[in-house]
Amino acid sequence: MKNVTISSLDDLAARVPDGAKLAIPADYSGVAMAATLALIRRGVRGLHIVTVPSSGLQAELLIGAGRVETIETSAITLGELGPAPRFVDAVKRGSVRLLDATCPAIHAAIQAAEKGLPFATLRGILGSDLMRVRKDWKTVENPFNPGDEIAAFPAISPDLALFHAPFADREGNVWVGRRRELVTMAHAARQTLVTVEAISDSSLFEDEGLAAGTIPALYVSSIAEVKRGAWPLALWGQYEADGAVLLRYVEAARTREGFERVLAEWLERLAVAAE
Amino acid sequence: MIEHTKTEVLIATLARLLAGCRHVCVGAASPIPGSAALLARAQAGSALRVNLLGSRRHNFFTNGGVELFDCAAEGRIDAFFLGGGQIDGQANINLVGTGEYPTTNVRWPGSFGSAYLYFVVPRVILFREEHSRRALVEKVDFVSAPGTSAPGTYRPGGPCALVTGLAHFSFDRTRRRFRLESVHPGHSLEEIFDNTGFSFDKPECVPSTPPPDGESLALLRGLVRDELAETYPRFAAAAFPTPTA
């Protein structure tokens, strides 16, 4: 039963090998930003990032720091703050392999992996250029209604899922509330790494209300307790995004030098927080 | 006459297009469509449900990111808003970029859920504030989602209208063409022709888009602004004039 490690942030980050296929959630869901910085600091390389289904600052930082070989995504944007400058730059330079997708296809492909299926199917999408540029996407005929074409996508089986949640318990159960895409990611991934705001001494299964929004420890490989672990992004129900810091990022990251400067500051801040 | 801003005209126009809807969803980074959905809800009362992606308070989904798409698949979402860096005369939309894919010289965020929702939501309203020849083109460089499909394709949904900073168009799915419905106050038909990169149909006499009435403005500057501030604090603070005491 006790197979979950409650570890330090650096130990958690060390569990992501170079070249891993890493699933990360959208900004609204619970983004492990501190762990992402720790990952950059440990020097990870060649990641295949799968955004479930989109991403913002997290993918932007990993791409800007040159840690991403492939980005599989429905969208990368900093939301109200506009385009993600390092992502845009990497696309233009062709320095990152792009697997453009659409949100429900990523959800469905993750769900297929969760069920141990080789592929997922979805209505729509036919006639989109996504079908043309995604050589791995196909159309299949509805076996029950010949002539009815349906888009099909290979299952996405991430090596790891990484996200940030409000709390876990000492057994390694993680509470994600109604952020069910995190449950699906944990089911689909070989390993799941979670940072949490707090670790509760009582089991999440003692309360049926909490249990309903809980990922059982079975699916969780490693947990680290990191206060404000989504900073400078928001964590739903816990804290708002640090708007001033994000604004400064967007302005600085227009240039490679400005980006390097902010990243260095954030890594420094992480080191100080760890002391 | 009641003073209104250009943004308030857009919101009121989008809100009118939601008439009769029971459930409207609004995607991320869409403050003007979000305002329109909240205004329509304020006017329709309990007859209209609204989900704003990115909101906690104005979002009742409990099954994660996939619920929006599952809900749409079953025909439970009546209207959705889509945009596009480029929109063409056949209502194809491009949310990916311009130039040769993949190293596009202009790169936008990506297709989001457009390639799917455009097929399954009955009333998709296209919204693009910039009305220019670079935004409204004859043919998009990349089709994130096609405006129309070949006969026999499963497609209960699709585009019904396009609202820009200058005008409101309807879309005829059979003719595969836009039709100019009205020009926003303060703008001219000539401006529409000058700034639209595709050809479109129009009535002999093009009306002016009706401005929001006093009740709509009061709702926008009060309830809607307050509700919107949770998700779009910057927009809510800047977009609406403070009501005069």
Q: What is the pLDDT of residues A39-72, one digit of tens each?
A: 999 999 999 999 999 999 999 999 999 999 999 9
Least confident segment among A15-24, A186-195, B27-36, B109-118:
B27-36
Q: Is B57 on the interface with A (CB under 8 A)?
A: no
Q: Is the pLDDT of residue B2 over 80?
A: no
User: ipTM of the predicted structure?
Assistant: 0.95
Across the interface, do A125 and B234 touch by the CB < 8 Å criterion? no
Chain A CB within 8 Å of residue B13 CB: no
Answer yes or no: is B244 within a domain.
no
Mean pLDDT for all residues in chain A: 96
pLDDT confidence of residue A80: 82
Question: Percentage of chain A with pLDDT > 90?
Answer: 95
The verdict on residue B98 lying in a domain is yes
Selecting from B69, B145, B235 the residue whose C-beta is nearest the C-beta of A128 gives B145
- Choice between A64 and B1, residue whose per-residue pLDDT is larger: A64
B33 has a chain A CB within 8 A of its CB: no
Q: Does A28 touch chain B (CB under 8 A)?
A: yes
Mean pLDDT of B51-64: 92
Residue A84: closest C-alpha in chain B: B109
Q: Residue B155's closest chain A neighbor by CA?
A: A124
Mean pLDDT of B153-163: 97
Q: List the CATH number of the domain containing B217.
A: 3.40.1080.10
Q: Which residue in A has a C-alpha nearest to residue B142's C-alpha?
A: A129
Give the tokens for residue A207: 């309360």
Average pLDDT over residues B14-37: 96
Range of the structural domain that residue B151 is part of: 6-239
B79 in any annotated domain: yes
pLDDT above 70 covers a percentage of chain A that reads 99
Total domains, chain B: 1
| Mean pLDDT score, B138-152 | 97
Predicted pLDDT of residue B245 = 42
A88 chain-B contacts, CB cut-off 8 A:
107
B1 within some domain: no
pLDDT reported for residue A192 = 98
Instruction: Indicate if the pLDDT at residue A14 is higher than 60.
Output: yes
Domains of chain A: 5-105+156-274 (3.40.1080.10), 119-154 (no CATH)
Summarize pLDDT for A122-155 with one digit per residue, the tens: 999 999 999 999 999 999 999 999 999 999 999 9
pTM of the model as a whole: 0.96
**Domain contains B21:** yes
Q: pLDDT digits over A219-268, tens only? A: 999 999 999 999 999 999 999 999 999 999 999 999 999 999 999 999 99
B71: in domain:
yes
Residue B241, pLDDT score = 80
- Per-residue pLDDT band for A158 (boundaries 50, 70, 90) equals very high
Indicate if the pLDDT at residue A113 is higher than 50.
yes
